[in-house]
Amino acid sequence: MGKSIIGLLNHFYSFFRYVENGIYKNGFVKVGENKIKYIKEPVSGIEKSKRTKSFAVSSTSALNLFDMATTNYENLYKLSRIMEIHNMALGIQSPSNALLSLWSILELLLEKEKNDNDRSRIFNIIDLVTPYLINSYIEKIVKNLLSDLQRWSKRKTDAVLSGITVGRDEIEKLFAFIALEVYDDKRKELYRELEAFPLLRFRIFTLNEQFGTKKNLNRMLNEHEKKLRWHLQRIYRARNRIIHDGDDIMNIENLVENLLFYVDIICERIIQKIGGSGYKYTVSDAIVEENLQAKDYQMISETISDIDDKNFTIFLYHSAESIVL
């Protein structure tokens, strides 16, 4: 029993070291634009100090998750299996086997229906995955932009955000800065500051066009959803070719990276929801809630004329519950 508990804690701990940009075995995790990549190479002391958070943070996260999971058998079983498969996939040398392992996490999360067949199952999995990736999409974009702006100049970025009168944190303030017309003059000032950084400047300009109106933002989300559904079907076809034919898949490394990114988002959001709920709250509840969040957004979005300083967090978080009062 003691060994089992230690094993579970180790799975949870390894996962949190990973999601916190930590060291994993003989490499490190690199977080970039819309992808998370495991780099298998020696890690220097400098790299460790730059990329790892304290062991205490990861240990606390693992213990908290373990404590919540042990109050509910479904959570304990599913989360422990997910963490085990996830951690194992990071260390697999073969991209084909890594893809199969990561896909099995999606299979584990989706409860099998009596009349399931291959055709219905892939669409059920797509319906499971898509809300997670859509609900988190805008926030992820803003987080990545914030990181790049701070890398450019934290002092100047902080100065810009300090002048934003709405928003509870940096992410909300940056989204408001990009999306709201009232900050048009401030954006022009930033464009001038970024004259020597045309790519970053153009990125902000493009996001302003995409986030500036409800119509444009929802069009962006719809296009992203179409690409996601197509890409998930592509990954599923690759998975079937590996299982049934043993084929070598072209660009399989990219498929694995993207699938890992998708799985990580799902895992993190499930953990967040379980952490913020009572002990009776299950993984299944978290999945249902994610779907309801996406549907609620669609309904409330139709009742809003456009994005403003009172409702902008609805569009940032794809959630009606996040509205700033």
Q: Which residue is it, tokens 């933002």?
A: 217
Predicted TM-score (pTM) of the model is: 0.79
Picking from 102-116, 148-162, 194-208, which range would have the lowest pLDDT averaged per residue?
102-116
- When pLDDT is averaged across residues 105-131 and rounded to a whole number, the result is 78
DSSP result, 11-45? HHHHHHHHHTT-EETTEEEEEETTEEEEEES---H
pLDDT tens for each residue of 15-60: 665 655 443 344 434 444 444 444 444 444 434 444 444 445 555 5
Residue type, 138: I
pLDDT score for 29? 40
pLDDT score for 51? 44
pLDDT score for 113? 53
Instruction: Please give the structure tokens belonging to residue 147.
Output: 């990181």
DSSP summary character for residue 282: -
Highest mean pLDDT among 19-23, 55-59, 104-108, 317-321: 104-108
User: In terms of pLDDT, which residue wins out, 267 or 315?
Assistant: 315
Confidence of residue 92 (pLDDT cuts 50, 70, 90): confident
Confidence check: pLDDT of 189 > 70 = yes
The closest alpha carbon to 36, from 13, 62, 18, belongs to 18
Domain ranges in the chain? 72-317
Confidence check: pLDDT of 308 > 50 = yes
Average pLDDT, the chain: 80
Residue type, 108: L
* Angular region, 238: left φ>0, alpha ψ -120 to 50, beta rest: alpha
Confidence check: pLDDT of 204 > 70 = yes
How far from 271 is each of 6, 134, 193, 224, 265, CA to CA, in Å?
20, 17, 39, 24, 10
Confidence of residue 4 (pLDDT cuts 50, 70, 90): low
The closest alpha carbon to 24, from 3, 8, 10, 34, belongs to 10
